[in-house]
Amino acid sequence: MKKIILASSSPRRREILERYDVDFEIIKSHVNEKVSFGDDPFQVVMSLAFQKAEDISSKLDSNAIVIAADTVVYMNSVIGKPKDEIDAYRILEKLSGKEHLVITGITIIDTSLGKKIIDYETTKVKFRELQPEKINRYISTGEFKDKAGAYGIQGYGEILVDWIEGSYSNVVGLPIVKVDKLLERYFNTKIL
C-alpha cells in the first residue's frame, strides 16, 4: 500500500485518521489561505484543498497518496475562523437558532501517477437558541480558537447543536466516508 500523507496540521483530522489502521504521515502545507469570501463556498474549499495537496505533492519524491481538506461554515456567506473572542461571540450569535452548512473540500493526489481528484462534502447543522450567557461560557473554554464557525462539535460545542443532517466527521473537519469512497474508487486504496 502506498504511503498516505495528510496535508494538514489539524489535530482533528489526524484523530479521525488515527482511528483506522492506516499508515500515514502528516506534512503541513504552508499555502497562504487567502481567498475572497464573496466567492462560491464550494469553489473556495475545493480550491484551498487543491492548493494544499499540490503544495505537498510537489515536494515529494516518493510513491504516496496526498490527502488535503479545507472546511468552512456557510450561512449566506463564508464564516471563517474567529480572530478573537469578540469575533467568536459575533459568529455564535449569528448561528444561534439557525441552520448553516459545513462544507469541506477534499483533494487526493497520487504522486506516482499524477492522478488528482477534487470533491466536497456538505453537512447541514442546526444550532439551538443560544443565550448570551451560554455563548460567553462556551467562549471561556477557549475551544472556539482555530475553528471555522467558532465551534467544535467534537468537544464542548456539541451542546450548541440541535441536530445535524449528513456526515458528522465532516463537521469535525474530514468527511471520512467520502474520503474512503474516493480512495477506493479512484486510487484502489482503503482506509478500512
Q: What would you report as the CA-atom Rg of the chain, rounded to the nearest whole angstrom?
A: 17
The residue segments making up the domain with residue 87 are 3-187
* DSSP for residue 79: E
What's the pTM value of the predicted model, to 2 decimals?
0.93
pLDDT at 54: 95
* pLDDT at site 9: 86
Residue 29 has pLDDT above 60, yes or no: yes
> Per residue in 130-139, pLDDT tens?
999 999 999 9
Cα(137)–Cα(127) distance, integer angstroms: 16
Tell me whether residue 192 is in a domain: no
pLDDT band with cut points at 50, 70 and 90 for residue 35: low
91 or 31: whose pLDDT is higher?
Answer: 91
CB 130 within 8 A of CB 98: no
Tell me the residue length of the chain.
Answer: 192
Answer whether residue 110 is part of any domain: yes
Question: What distance in Å separates the CA atoms of residue 135 and residue 160, rounded to the nearest whole number?
Answer: 9
Q: Phi and psi of 47, rounded to 5°?
A: -65, -45
**Is pLDDT at 34 greater than 80 in this prediction?**
no
Grid coordinates representing 126 are: 442546526
For CA atoms 95, 156, 34, 167, give the dihedral sign.
negative
Three-state SS at 63: coil
For residue 31, the SS3 value is coil
Position of cell 482506509? 191
Q: Does 128 fall in a domain?
A: yes
What are the tens digits of pLDDT across the range 137-191? 999 999 999 999 999 999 999 999 999 999 999 999 999 999 999 999 999 998 9
108 close to 182: Cβ distance less than 8 angstroms: yes
Annotation says 70 is catalytic: yes
Would 56 be classed as within a structural domain? yes
Quick check: 47 pLDDT over 70?
yes
Out of 21, 39, 70, 84, the active site residue is: 70
Residue 46 domain-assigned (yes or no)? yes
Q: How many domains does the chain have?
A: 1
Q: Is the model's pLDDT at 57 over the cut of 90?
A: yes
Using alpha carbons, select from 37, 11, 40 the residue that is nearest to residue 26.
11
- CATH of residue 132: 3.90.950.10
Distance CA 108, CA 186 (A): 9
Task: State yes or no: pLDDT of 36 exceeds 80.
Answer: no
Reported in sequence order, the residue ranges of the chain that DSSP labels E, i.e. its strands, are 3-6, 24-26, 64-74, 78-79, 99-110, 115-127, 161-165
Q: Can you tell me the distance from the alpha carbon of 154 to that of 179, in angstroms, rounded to the nearest whole number?
A: 19
Q: Is residue 93 part of a domain?
A: yes
**Overall average pLDDT of the 64-82 stretch:** 94
Assigned domain for 45 exists = yes
Whole-angstrom distance, CA of residue 163 vs CA of residue 68: 27
